[in-house]
Amino acid sequence: MGRKRIFHGFVVADGKISNTGDYDSIMDSQEIINLQGMTVLPGFVDGHTHLLNMGMNMVHINLSEIDSFDEASYYLTKRLESGDTYKGWLIGTDFDETKWKKVKRPSKNDLDGISTTTPIALIRICTHLAVCNSKALELLGEGENIDPETGIIKEEQLWHLDEVIGVNREDRKEGIKRAVERAQQLGVTCAHEIVDREGWEAYRELDREGALKLRVRCYIRYNELGDLEPIVESPYLSLKGVKVFVDGSLGGHTAALEEDYEDDPGNRGMLLLSQDELEEIIEVAEERGFQVMAHAIGDRALTVTLDAFETAATRTRELRHRIEHAEVLSDVNIRRIRDLNIILSVQPNFAYQWSQPRGMNERRLGPERLKMCNPYWNAQRSLIKMAFGSDTMPLGPLFGVFSAVNHPLLEQRISTYNALQCYITNSAYAGMDEEHLGQLSNGMAADFVVLSENPLESDDIGEIEVLMTVIGGDVVYDNRPSD
C-alpha cells in the first residue's frame, strides 16, 4: 500500500486498474459505479490461512464462544440427539479452555459421558491438539502423540483425522467454496493457504472448473510434497512453497521454549524437527525453487530455525523464505531475522486474544517472558519485512489491524497505516505478488475493497464494515446500502 491518495476514481479494464484520477476517461466508461466518497483500499492479502479447514469446520459445532465444558456438552448432546452427525462423527471445533470460567482441558472421560458409541473429537482452536472419546480413539488406533488415558491427540496425529473420518475430494471442494465466500465478505482478495496433497488437488479442480473466486497461493506440507514443483496454475491459483512445523503451540503446551512453561514446570514443549532435518528440507526446497514457510512459535524453535537457515539456505533473498508466528521472539532473534533477510509472517489477532493481562500467554510464560510475546514494534523498527495473516483464528483483516493497533503491550503497538501495510503490501511481497497486488496503481490487478469508514481516521477500526470486494475487476461481494 503506497501513500494515501485522493482521486476521482479509476478505470477497470481486463481485470486491471488504469487511468487513475483521469476524470474524462472515467466518465467515458461503459459502466460507472459511484462510491459516493467511500474509502477504497487495495484488497487484503491474508498471509497465513487455513481456508479449507475453516470451510470444513463450518458444518461442525463451533465452540469458540462458549465459557465452560458444561456448555460444550450441552451443544454436543443436542447435536447428537438430533442425529445430525458428520459421517457418523460428532466434532466440535475452536474450543479454548483458557477462556473458560474453570480453566481445565476436557478429557476422554468427559466426552465418554456424552457417548461411548459415537466417535467424538473436540479440536482446540490452535489445531495442534484435540480431545477424543473412547470410540474415536478406537478408530484412530495407536500413535506416538495419542494418549489413551486422557484422550488427547497432538500435532501430526490430527493431520490423519480427516482420513479416518472419510473426508473426500468433493467434501473438500464444498468446504473451500464456503470459506471463499466468507473471505470475500471480509475483504480478503488473496490468501496464503496451507494445504495437504488432497487439499491442493481440490483447489486445482475448483480452479480448472472456473469456480475459484479468490487468489490463493498454496504452501504444501513438506511431508506430502512428493514430486511436485512450484507452478502457476492460473492468475488465481499457484503453488508457492513448502510448510514445515518446527514446534507446536503455546495453547497446547507444545511450542518449544528455552525455559519451562510457567504453568507446567518441567515441560519445555516439543521440537518436531531437529536442526539437521530442517537443513535437509531447506536444501531440497531450494533445489526445486520452493519458498520455505517455517512454523516456529517458541524461542527454542526460533533459534533452531534460524540456525538452520543460516547454515543451509543460499537463496533466502530470492525465494523469500519466511518464519510463521514467531510468538516468543527475543531481541537477538529479531536481529538475526533482519540480517538473514527472512520474512516475518505473524498474526496480530493472537496478541490481542491471548496476551491480555492474566491471559493465556501470561499464564504460559509468566510476566517477564510475556514482554517477548508478539513484539511488532520491535520488529518494525528493526526494518524487518513483516506480513500479517489471520491463521483463520478468526479470519478477518480488519480485526487483525485493530489488534495490532491495540496490542495489549503498549510498547508493541504500531500505527494503523503500518498495520494496513503489513496486511496489504507486505503480505503481497511475502507471496512474491508485489508487481500485481497491493496497490491501486495503473497496471495493477483490480483487487480492492470498499469500506464503511477510513481506517486512518476511525476511532474504532473493529466496527468498520466491508461494503464491497472486487477481485480481478469482478464484484464478488456487494453489501453497500441501497439508495
Domain limits of the chain? 55-165, 169-430
Residue 283 binned pLDDT confidence (cut-offs 50, 70, 90):
very high
At 250-262, the pLDDT tens digits run: 998 999 999 999 9
Distance CA 151, CA 105 (A): 11
Other CB atoms within 10 Å distance of the CB of residue 86 = 16
Residue 228's nearest CA partner among 316, 290, 135, 162 is 290
Question: What does residue 89 show for φ and ψ, rounded to 5 degrees?
Answer: -105, 150
- Average pLDDT over the chain reads 93
Instruction: Report the SS3 class of residue 381.
Output: helix
Please state the length of the chain.
483
Using CA of residue 77, residue 83, residue 85, residue 87, what is the dihedral sign? positive
> What pLDDT, on the 0 to 100 scale, is given for residue 23?
59
CATH architecture classification, 55-165: Roll (3.10)
> What pLDDT, on the 0 to 100 scale, is given for residue 4?
58
Biggest CA pair distance of the chain: 73
Distance CA 72, CA 365 (A): 27
> What pLDDT, on the 0 to 100 scale, is given for residue 222?
95
Using CA of residue 238, residue 176, residue 165, residue 155, what is the dihedral sign? positive
Residue 2 binned pLDDT confidence (cut-offs 50, 70, 90):
low
Distance CA 341, CA 320 (A): 8
Distance CA 429, CA 449 (A): 19
Instruction: Report the SS3 class of residue 296.
Output: strand
> What pLDDT, on the 0 to 100 scale, is given for residue 28?
63
- Strands 11-13 and 16-18 come out as antiparallel
- CB under 8 Å to 117, separation ≥6 — which residues? 135
Share of the chain above pLDDT 70, in %: 96
Distance CA 126, CA 249 (A): 7
Q: What is the mean pLDDT of residues 180-196?
A: 98
Query: Per-residue pLDDT for 1 more than 60?
Result: no
At 127-161, the pLDDT tens digits run: 888 999 999 999 999 888 889 999 999 877 777 88
Residue 182's nearest CA partner among 59, 62, 51 is 51
Domain 169-430 CATH class label: alpha beta
Residue 390's nearest CA partner among 407, 403, 409 is 403
At 354-408, the pLDDT tens digits run: 999 999 999 999 999 999 999 999 999 999 999 999 999 999 999 999 999 999 9
Using CA of residue 68, residue 69, residue 73, residue 79, what is the dihedral sign? positive
Contact 10, 440 (CB under 8 A): yes
Distance CA 431, CA 160 (A): 28
Query: Per-residue pLDDT for 25 more than 90?
Result: no
pTM of the entire predicted model:
0.91
At 30-76, the pLDDT tens digits run: 677 777 888 999 999 999 999 999 999 999 999 999 999 999 999 99
Grid cell 533452531 in the structure block, residue: 304
Distance CA 122, CA 286 (A): 37
At 223-260, the pLDDT tens digits run: 999 999 999 999 999 999 999 999 999 998 999 999 99
Contact 472, 235 (CB under 8 A): yes
Query: Per the structure block, which three cell numbers stand in for 158?
Result: 490430527
Query: Per the structure block, which three cell numbers stand in for 439?
Result: 496497490
> What pLDDT, on the 0 to 100 scale, is given for residue 210?
96
Question: What does residue 78 show for φ and ψ, rounded to 5 degrees?
Answer: -60, -45
Query: Per-residue pLDDT for 437 more than 70?
Result: yes
